[in-house]
Chain A
Amino acid sequence: DTAVSQTPKYLVTQMGNDKSIKCEQNLGHDTMYWYKQDSKKFLKIMFSYNNKELIINETVPNRFSPKSPDKAHLNLHINSLELGDSAVYFCASRPTSGNTIYFGEGSWLTVV
């Protein structure tokens, strides 16, 4: 009964491919996020959604497209993968009435 779950945990793919990472939370939270952690461990927000509405869209290439079919899911689709997309991607969620963000275990993406 993982609270924020991401799949896959590991993904190795070739340049130019299109891939998706799925995220689901069973906490009943209204807000979900995607963060990217680069090779230097720096965590940077990419997107946030509140009840399926896009709230935050940082300067991210438009090859990255989040999709929220319902408030419990926030998937990340990446087109035309590049070497620089190799990173750990973290999904997270937060209740509207609270300020604590709960993270998934991360998805390790390697582009070769």
Chain B
Amino acid sequence: AQSVTQPDIHITVSEGASLELRCNYSYGATPYLFWYVQSPGQGLQLLLKYFSGDTLVQGIKGFEAEFKRSQSSFNLRKPSVHWSDAAEYFCAVGPGNRDDKIIFGKGTRLHILP
């Protein structure tokens, strides 16, 4: 069965520090992987996506993610966080075809210390 695991419910980092948010997936075929961000009281914004090709993908707001098939992981990274990065981050997998659904992890809340 398809699933996405984000093992960290909360992460706190200092402003200017580097960030890595973990995501592991279980998917029967070649996965389509996404990271979305949700600021408080806001909707979901797509940060980046991986379908195929280069396993290191660049996204908006200075984020990047690396697909590692051997580890079934798609971790999100940013070299230097800003206070405005404080938000909820969701990793997601799928859909492969019109009958598939996109499945979300339970999210990681990022807190930024000044």
Contacts and interface: CB of A to CB of B under 8 A. Distances in A.
A100 B34 contact: yes
B43 A94 contact: no
Given A42-B106, A43-B90, A45-B102, A99 B43 contact: no
Interface string B18-53: 000000000000001010101000111110010100
A58 to B, nearest CB: 8
A103 B103 CA distance: 14
Interface stretch (A14-22, A48-56, A75-83): A48-56
A102 interface: yes
Contact residues on A (Cβ < 8 Å of other chain), bracket: 20 to 34
B107 A104 contact: no
A100 B49 contact: yes
A99 B95 contact: yes
A105 B43 contact: yes
Contacts of A94: 95
Nearest to A51: B98
B96 A99 contact: yes
B102 A106 contact: no
A68 interface: no
A41 B37 CA distance: 12
Contact of A101 (B88, B96, B102): B102
Q: Across chains A and B, which 9 residue pairs bring their CB atoms closest together, nearest first?
A: A105-B43, A103-B44, A43-B104, A99-B32, A45-B101, A106-B43, A41-B107, A50-B98, A101-B102
Given A31-B98, A99-B32, A102-B46, 18 more contacts: A33-B101, A33-B102, A40-B106, A41-B106, A41-B107, A42-B106, A43-B44, A44-B104, A45-B103, A48-B101, A56-B99, A58-B101, A90-B44, A99-B94, A100-B34, A101-B34, A103-B36, A103-B43
17 contacts: A40-B106, A41-B88, A41-B109, A42-B104, A43-B104, A43-B107, A45-B101, A94-B95, A96-B98, A99-B32, A99-B96, A100-B46, A100-B49, A101-B34, A103-B44, A105-B42, A106-B43
